[in-house]
Amino acid sequence: MIKLISLISMIIFFFSASYVQANENKEDRGNMLVAYFSWSGNTRNIAKEIHSLVGGDIFEIEPVKAYSSDYNTCLDEAKREQQAQARPALKTHVTDMTKYDVIFLGYPNWWASIPMPIASFLEEYDLSGKTIIPFSSHGGGRLGQSVSAIAKLSPQSKILEALSVHYSGGRSLRNDISVWLKKIGITEK
Ligand SMILES: Cc1cc2nc3c(=O)[nH]c(=O)nc-3n(C[C@H](O)[C@H](O)[C@H](O)COP(=O)(O)O)c2cc1C
Note whether residue 18 is domain-resident. Answer: no
For ligand 1, the distance from its centroid to the CA atom of residue 114, given in whole angstroms, is 10
DSSP secondary structure of 118-158: HHHHHHHS--TT-EEEEEEEESSSTTTTHHHHHHHH-TTSE
Cα radius of gyration (the chain): 20
The per-residue pLDDT for 185 is: 97
Lowest mean pLDDT among 6-15, 96-105, 143-152, 167-176: 6-15
- Three-state DSSP at 108 gives strand
Note whether residue 10 is domain-resident. Answer: no
Residue nearest to atom 23 of ligand 1 (CA): 108
For ligand 1, the distance from its centroid to the CA atom of residue 53, given in whole angstroms, is 25
The per-residue pLDDT for 17 is: 47
Give the CATH number of the domain where residue 33 resides. 3.40.50.360
Note whether residue 189 is domain-resident. Answer: no
**Ligand 1 binding pocket includes 139 (Cβ within 6 Å):** yes
Residue nearest to atom 15 of ligand 1 (CA): 139
- State the residue range of the domain holding 77: 29-183
CA 188 to centroid of chain Cα atoms: 18
Q: What percent of the chain has pLDDT over 90?
A: 83
The per-residue pLDDT for 85 is: 98
Q: What percent of the chain has pLDDT over 70?
A: 84
pLDDT tens-digit profile of 16-42? 444 444 444 444 566 999 999 999 999
User: For all residues of the chain together, what is the average pLDDT?
Assistant: 90
- Residues 157-169: what's their mean pLDDT? 98
**Ligand 1 binding pocket includes 38 (Cβ within 6 Å):** yes
pLDDT tens-digit profile of 142-151? 999 999 999 9
Residue nearest to atom 27 of ligand 1 (CA): 39
pLDDT band at 126 (very low <50, low <70, confident <90, very high): very high
Of 186, 185, 140, give the one whose Cα is nearest residue 164. Answer: 140
Interatomic CA distance for residues 131 and 150, integer angstroms? 12
- Three-state DSSP at 51 gives helix
- Residue 1 reports pLDDT greater than 50: yes
| Number of domains making up the chain | 1
The per-residue pLDDT for 4 is: 57
Please give the C-alpha separations between residue 45 and each of 49, 72, 80, 153, in angstroms, as whole numbers: 6, 23, 27, 25
pLDDT tens-digit profile of 35-94? 999 999 999 999 999 999 999 999 999 999 999 999 999 999 999 999 999 999 999 999
Q: Which atom from ligand 1 is nearest to the alpha carbon of 113?
A: 8
Q: Which atom from ligand 1 is nearest to the alpha carbon of 109?
A: 17
